[in-house]
Amino acid sequence: MRRALPYTISLVMLALVALGAVVGGWTLALPFIMGWILVSALDQILGLNTSNLDPDTPEQHLIWHRVIIWVWVPAQLALIFGCFRAISLPGHLSGAEQALLMAGLGIATGGIGITYAHELVHRRSRWERMIGEVLLISTGYGHFATEHVYGHHINVATPADPVTARRGENYYAFLARAVIGSLISAWRIEARRLHHRGRALWHWSNPFWRYGGGFAAMLVLAYWFAGLSGIVLYLVMCAMGVYQLEAVNYVEHYGLTRRHLGGGRFERTRLHHSWNSSHRASNVALINLQRHSDHHDRPDRLFPVLQNHSWKAAPQLPFGYPVMVFAALLPPLWFRIMNPRLDRWRRTFYPDISDWRHYENGTIGQTDASLAPAPV
């Protein structure tokens, strides 16, 4: 339990949003301060954590780490409906305060809640995958459960992946491509899976019934609690969550590419195909999401035993994800920070490749009959 205790810091975010819903005013800024400023400041104070737990630690010894995530699920749902209630009370919060409350809620549900959902949809147990879906559906992004596991983890660092950013692609162009591309990719994945099972696209087992139906139910509940303003403000929460999720996707794989082998085939995913950060505070807040290379190498590995790797194996970022996400919003700053590091990555891992133009514009492999990468 002692080792799991630091990870409970994420639960403070829920408390701060709840405080804003009750008190209003300046307290509505607290989720932004914690998520973007306090964690980043602690990163600089506490430094790096490069130590690793034994990856073979039995799961029963990590039960308290898992309990933190399980607790988050009902807590997030209760907080969403509590915020609906808060914005429905006449005269309790001004229009601007309501918008800030739902944006702060989006930081909690998107920045942390989706990170927890990401952990859950990779689990072996069916019920954990299902509650991971519940978290995603509550933020309007249920299809992430399909696209991330069956799309991103197969296609990462290739043109077939809608959430691998290309060198020189700014975040805003990437965001549009990622949101639309992820939805299309998830739909195609489920269509193929149903076809392989001999089932029609509209069969009840298509998870898009859950994704769409759950989102529709959330809209109905938002309206029931707070009318049209409830729907608008719920969509503000969802938009903030999606912005944060896709900003993290942008940071995690910016410019990184797998070697094209011809015939629509790419090398298998390796540790150097994700950007990582060893900063202590943000890794605690994001349950080791920043040890991203190890996650792609072992997607079934529980977050406490994800391994840190040095630059010799996996590229490192100069700051934690919160700072890097902020930098992504300012393209000139982002390119100034990241393009020299991307050049170093190319020299380190692919010194034999001199012409990167087809990798940068996403056309590598597109003249082949099949673009879908095949591990080798």
Per-residue model confidence as pLDDT tens digits over 119-145? 999 998 999 999 999 999 999 999 999
pTM of the model: 0.92
Q: Please, which pLDDT band fits residue 367 given cuts at 50, 70 and 90?
A: very low
Q: DSSP per residue over 34-53, as a string?
A: IIIIIHHHHHHHH-B-----
- Report in angstroms the alpha-carbon separations of 45 from 49, 95, 227, 310: 12, 37, 45, 21
pLDDT (tens digit per residue) in 306-336: 999 998 899 999 999 999 999 999 999 999 9
Q: What is the pLDDT of residue 129?
A: 96
Greatest CA separation for the chain: 66
pLDDT (tens digit per residue) in 52-65: 999 989 988 899 99
Give which of 268, 255, 250, 251 is closest to 345, Cα–Cα. Answer: 255
Q: Is the pLDDT of residue 368 over 60?
A: no
pLDDT above 70 as % of the chain? 97
Question: Positive or negative, the Cα torsion across 117, 121, 123, 124?
Answer: positive
Q: What is the pLDDT of residue 36?
A: 87
pLDDT (tens digit per residue) in 5-34: 999 998 999 999 999 999 999 999 999 999
pLDDT (tens digit per residue) in 241-290: 999 999 999 999 999 999 999 888 999 999 999 999 999 999 999 999 99
Strands 260-262 and 265-266: antiparallel
Helix (H) or strand (E) holding 209: helix 208-253
Look up residue 23 and give its two tokens: 């008190």
Name the residue ranges covered by the structural domains of the chain: 5-360
Q: Which residues pair with 316 in a beta bridge?
A: 276
Q: What is the pLDDT of residue 366?
A: 59
Contact predicate 170/331, CB 8 Å: yes
Q: Is the pLDDT of residue 373 over 60?
A: no
Contact predicate 322/36, CB 8 Å: yes
| Average pLDDT of every residue of the chain | 93
Cβ-in-10-Å burial (0-12, 13-18, 19+) of 201 comes to exposed
- Report in angstroms the alpha-carbon separations of 28 from 13, 85, 97: 11, 16, 7
Instruction: Point out the least confidently predicted range of 40-49, 162-171, 272-281, 362-371.
Output: 362-371
DSSP code at position 303? G
Q: Is the pLDDT of residue 371 over 50?
A: no
Q: What is the pLDDT of residue 351?
A: 94
Give which of 103, 139, 117 is closest to 16, Cα–Cα. Answer: 103
Q: What is the pLDDT of residue 60?
A: 84
Q: Is the pLDDT of residue 374 over 70?
A: no
208-253 and 171-196 helices, crossing angle to 10°: 140
